[in-house]
Structure 1
Amino acid sequence: MKIDGNELAILQNELDQQGKKQEAWKIKQEFLQQVREAGDHCPCPEACPHHGNCFECVTLHRGHRDHLPMCMWDMVNERLAALSHMTEGTLRAYEDRKAAEAAGNRAEDPE
């Protein structure tokens, strides 16, 4: 089952934004039912005890705030890529420049 960019979830969101709350609720329930029936839909390759249990996984990630669950990476990267285009896609060059500067500072540090 395709969860990311799911047509039912997109429709539900559009209906909700249009104020069609009851229709949106029905579509939401249909989408969630399909997710439950699909079984394991977790894209994470880690064999952790929380695999496939979104509630536990997301709660733990929110708790430690170190990084995002793998299932959210594509969505965040998609948005970051779009933001990067505001500077003509120069994010990679910026990161490379900052890494080189940091490496240069470490090389000059007499410790």
Structure 2
Amino acid sequence: MECVEISQEKKEKYLEMVKECREMIKTEKNRHCTCPKIKCEWHGKCFECVLLHRVNQDHVPSCLQPMLRNKIKELAKVAEMITEPKALTPGEYWDYVNEVCPNKDEK
């Protein structure tokens, strides 16, 4: 296996990108939950939400779908395909969940 040496310039560019990411994380600018499913028990609890979607492998969290959809649309153009967004879970479903089986861990 060949050892590839990375230039100092590339290392510095990467370092700057990491610093920018760290600063962005510190701000409140991008902290709000962008998911339209506001009645969802995990709305605003992004770590838990992503974990559940990753484990269940049902679909991508709603907040990540626009980014993924844009990337797929570009790819679909090449294959002359059509992409359609998935319908949101009705709010009534969450009303029912909270009525029949409220989360006792909620504060």
TM-score between the two structures when normalised by the length of structure 1: 0.55
* Structure 1 spans left out of the alignment, 5+ residues: 1-17, 93-111
Q: Percent identity?
A: 35
User: 2:23 matched to 1:30?
Assistant: yes
* Alpha-carbon distance between aligned partners in 1 of 2:21 and 2:74, rounded to the nearest angstrom: 27
* Alignment RMSD (CA, Å): 1.9
How far is the alpha carbon of 1:82 from its aligned partner? 0.8
2:34 to 23, 26, 43: 43
Unaligned runs of 5+ in 2: 1-9, 83-107
Q: Distance in 2 between matches of 1:84 and 1:24?
A: 30
Distance 1:50 1:65 in 2: 16
Who is 1:3 aligned against?
none
- How many correspondences in the alignment? 71
**TM-score normalised by L of structure 2:** 0.57
Q: Distance in 2 between matches of 1:43 and 1:23?
A: 27
Equivalent runs, 1:1-111 vs 2, <5 Å: 18-20=10-12, 21-34=14-27, 37-38=28-29, 41-46=32-37, 47-87=39-79, 89=80, 91-92=81-82
Moved over 4 A (4+): none
